Amino acid sequence: MIDGLRKFGQFREAPSLVALGGIVVVSSLLSPYFFTGTNIKNVLTQVSIIALLAEGEAFVILTGGIDLSLGSVLALVSVLVAGCMKSMNMPVYPAVLVGLCVGTLCGLTSGLLVTRVRIPSFIATLAMMAIARGLALIYSKGVPISMFPPEFRIIAKYVGPVSVLTLIMIAMLVVGQLILSWTRTGQYIRATGGHEEATRYLGVNVDRVKLFAFSFSGFCAAVGGVMLTARMDSAYPNVGQGYELDAIGSAVLGGISFTGGLGSVGGAFMGALVITILGNLLNLLRVSGFYQYVFKGLILAVAALSLSRGVKYAK
């Protein structure tokens, strides 16, 4: 039994699974409303957007970098899609397509800043964070855009017990994990994070791998932006501030190693669930949202501590 536990502890995702179990138990005990159908529906809807951002973040952190721009890219895509539908009278699908392309391009630009201009990803994405936010504000003139055609609002509708948002999230998570586990690109993403120099020496085009990771991250932020706009039926240029912290926190909590190379999309999802449920619990208990920050910080620190023990590297 101890052996089994030890084996379980070897998995990067173990802390987040334990935390998830813990917070579900604590929440059920502290609030009678937690395990109700309505509340579970709420949680699954709320987690969908953070889970998307956490997935994008995971891809970049796995290569050994970081992406601070996801919240801003989400906002930019949100106002762009909204503006295309409202002021340019574009039909829904082309508008969404424009948004997805712009988000991916933002990611690609961050990637080019890292691989061609050779700026560290922290700085490059910090710059993109500011630029994307600025562009969102300029485009929307600082004013929210709302009231979209019904075909667009389908994205936030419920199909039986589950919302389309949750379905999109599940689809994206599955695709992401499949890419990581079963393609050469996924292999190279992890190799780059684990030992970038060796990976280059063996002939892998590491720059192209990083460009893919950043572009995918931008794409995830774009999908998140479309989803959030549908859910709120509005696009606010100031939306998403602080989301990258949730995304990074989810990823680290879920076992994505900060030095790169270790972790999975499933782990990032569980991290996102823990953070979302924590927020949900505090709402149900009518506790001030400010406490969330303290709890999130504590969870992050404990998770990082428990995940860095017993890690042996050959280098």
Partner 1 sequence: MAETRLVEMKGISKSFGAVKALQSVDLELRHHEVLGLVGDNAAGKSTLMKILSGVYAPDGGEIFMEGKKVKFASPADSRRLGIEMIFQDLAIVPNLNIAGNIFLGREPVKSFLGIKILDKRKMIEESRVAVGRLDVDIRSTRLAAAGLSGGQQQAVAVGRAIYFNPPVVIMDEPTAALSVKGIKRVLELVHELKERGIAVILISHRLPNIFAVTDRIVILRTGKRVAEKMTKDTTAEEIIDLMVGMH
Nearer to partner 1, 31 or 257 (CB): 257
Nearer to partner 1, 122 or 201 (CB): 201
Three-state SS for 12?
Answer: coil
CA distance 9 to 84: 49
Q: Residue from 11, 35, 158, 201 that binds partner 1 (CB under 8 A)?
A: 201
According to the binding rule CB under 8 A, does residue 154 interact with partner 1? Answer: no
According to the binding rule CB under 8 A, does residue 65 interact with partner 1? Answer: no
* Shortest distance in whole angstroms from residue 307 CB to partner 1: 13
According to the binding rule CB under 8 A, does residue 157 interact with partner 1? Answer: no
Three-state SS for 126?
Answer: helix
Q: Residue from 128, 191, 272, 274 that binds partner 1 (CB under 8 A)?
A: 191
With CB under 8 A as the rule, give the number of residues binding partner 1: 25
Nearer to partner 1, 41 or 195 (CB): 195
CA distance 164 to 142: 29
CA distance 174 to 24: 23
- Other beta carbons less than 10 A from residue 19's beta carbon: 23
CA distance 25 to 126: 38
The window from 40-48, 137-145, 185-193, 291-299 that contacts partner 1 (CB under 8 A) reads: 185-193
Find the binding residues for partner 1 in span 240-269 (CB under 8 A).
261-262
Torsion angle of alpha carbons 294, 49, 280, 243, nearest 10°? 20
Q: Residue from 20, 108, 190, 225 that binds partner 1 (CB under 8 A)?
A: 190
- Burial (CB < 10 A; 0-12, 13-18, 19+), residue 143, is exposed
According to the binding rule CB under 8 A, does residue 197 interact with partner 1? Answer: yes
Query: What are the residues whose beta carbons fall under 8 Å from the beta carbon of 308, sequence distance 6 or more?
Result: none
Q: Cα-atom radius of gyration of the chain, to the nearest Å?
A: 19
The window from 51-59, 91-99, 267-275, 306-314 that contacts partner 1 (CB under 8 A) reads: 306-314
Outline where DSSP puts E strands in 52-130.
Answer: none
According to the binding rule CB under 8 A, does residue 200 interact with partner 1? Answer: yes
Sites of contact with partner 1 (CB under 8 A)? 182-184, 187, 190-191, 193-195, 197-205, 261-262, 311-315
